[in-house]
Structure 1
């Protein structure tokens, strides 16, 4: 997709994890990460773990300073959002060059983590927690 303001190509991908959704757009640039209008470091609370998780696809392909990443993340917490950003970024990189897909797939970055919160059942207090049983 062509951005009319800057005349640059935009590649996009969507990632989901738990209740989080991240819409990722990458543009050729200097390697900055912007999440919801804030610098990535401050949005992810300067956590090196979250930053490492979010940028894993770029590190594997060796494209650290090649693209600017713009993310709109919503829902869930920081862990879910970081994992959603990682999946969205991996999908966007696949749209740039189909050869990237082999490398990202072998690292397990293109698979959606389907674990979500289990629903509450009737007669129980939570999804599995039952009321205390009294024999007498």
Structure 2
């Protein structure tokens, strides 16, 4: 109990220190950002769009460093390129789960959703390109008595 109370007081002191140092809540209210969540298979991306110069970060790394192939990079920035807003926003993304390709598709969907919050008129364009539609395809489970989801063990008549 004392530990929690002590920890709570330390957090409160940090908040007070932040207010004195940075100008308080007014400073935080000035931060404009648009948020969207994207999902693909088991990958989940949280995408924040902030007005800026076009910097694109994924899990703290540059997107060219994180997404290795050109196809993954093109997929990740597709919604921003389509709307011609790539150089207007800084993109900060946190991605968890899945493989790299699924993560790139999750970033694509998350940025499309954030763009719709920024400008609802973009919805029609993004919807026509299927960037707002969740791809529901999942891995089919392995069945017992079989080698995989569909593959059977080799059959022998004799």
Q: Tell me the TM-score normalized by structure 2.
A: 0.79
Gap regions ≥5 residues in structure 2: 1-24
Q: Which structure carries more strand by proportion?
A: 1
Aligned mates of 2:149, 2:71 — CA distance in 1: 30
> More helix per residue: 1 or 2?
2
Deviations 1:17-44 (A, max 9, x none): 1221111111111111000011111111
Q: How many positions carry a matched residue from both structures?
A: 134
1:89 to 97, 104, 111: 111
2:46 paired with 1:23: yes
- Match in the other structure for 1:118: 140
Change (3 A) 1:96 1:127: same
CA distance in 1, matches of 2:26, 2:78: 26
1:128 matched to 2:150? The reply is yes
Shift of 1:66: 0.6
Structure with max Cα Rg? 2
* Ranges in structure 1 where 5+ consecutive residues have no aligned partner: none
Stretches of 4+ moved more than 3 A in 1?
Answer: 2-6
Aligned to 2:35: 12
CA distance in 1, matches of 2:73, 2:153: 42
* Residues 7/82 of structure 1: CA separation in 2 closer, same or farther (3 Å cut): same
Q: Does 1:73 align with 2:102?
A: no
Which of the residues 57, 63, 67 maps onto 1:44?
Answer: 67
Measure the CA separation in 2 of the matches of 1:77 and 1:6: 36
Q: State the distance in 2 between where 1:91 and 1:28 align.
A: 16
Q: What CA distance in whole angstroms lies between the structure 2 residues aligned with 1:74 and 1:119?
A: 22
RMSD: 1.8
